[in-house]
Amino acid sequence: MIINNQFIKLNNTQLNKFVKLKKIHKKFNKIINLISFNSLKKFYINHIEYSLSIINIIKFLPNSEILDAGTGGGFPGIPLSIIFKNTKFFLIDSIKKKIFFINKIIKKLKLKNVITINNRIENIKKKFDFIISRYFNRVNYIFPLLKNNIKKKSIHYIKNGIIYLTGEKKKYIKIKKYFYIFNLKKFSKNSYYNGKKIIYIPI
């Protein structure tokens, strides 16, 4: 298993959960396409390390509430919940089958800080400290959709907002609020991160 030490140092309990997570995905992927079959070959880089790359710009505090919008196979929410066990993660997806299997993953990994929501993001009224997402949609689409779900009062060292993992090459359409782009290639020499970015939109 390869986890970039630049991102975070993992203890044995966390490492064991990530190993188990891969085994669960390998089993469940025969039933439902939670992640692509090809990405299973590089599971730890494509899904675990990529999810944890968010830690380069934010370490979530205890009792904060994080929404993983369009969680799909549970990324980046599940890996981050393993690291930040005192932070509450809400994983939302509109596809019922995906939430069904994510609930099984949560049970098998004994994660006490993860809540799933089977709904569309525009139907959610609750507010969160941060909204995280991976490949959810383009910035100009997700910003107006999610901005009203962010708490105004910040407890972290950066302002509350949206943190979005993307590899899209299209130019970002201008939005009213200023946003920051972090090129992940600066944090890792792995070629997988060529073109990969973290977009942070403070509210």
Question: What string of DSSP letters covers 30-99?
Answer: TTS-SS-TGGGGGHIIIIIIHHHGGGGT--PPTT-EEEEET-TTTTTHHHHHHH-TTSEEEEEES-HHHH
Residue type, 119: N
On whether the pTM is more than 0.85, the answer is yes
Instruction: Please name which of 83, 148, 109, 141 lies closest in space to residue 23, comparing C-alpha atoms.
Output: 109
**Per-residue model confidence as pLDDT tens digits over 134-192:** 865 566 677 777 889 999 999 999 999 999 898 866 555 454 456 888 888 887 778 88
127 confidence band (pLDDT: 50, 70, 90):
very high
Residue type, 187: F
96 confidence band (pLDDT: 50, 70, 90):
very high
Query: Domain 12-177 sits in which CATH superfamily?
Result: Vaccinia Virus protein VP39 (3.40.50.150)
Six-digit token string for 164: 């979005």
Judged on CB neighbours under 10 Å (0-12, 13-18, 19+), 192 is middle
Is the pLDDT reported for residue 84 higher than 90? yes
Please give the pLDDT value at position 39: 78
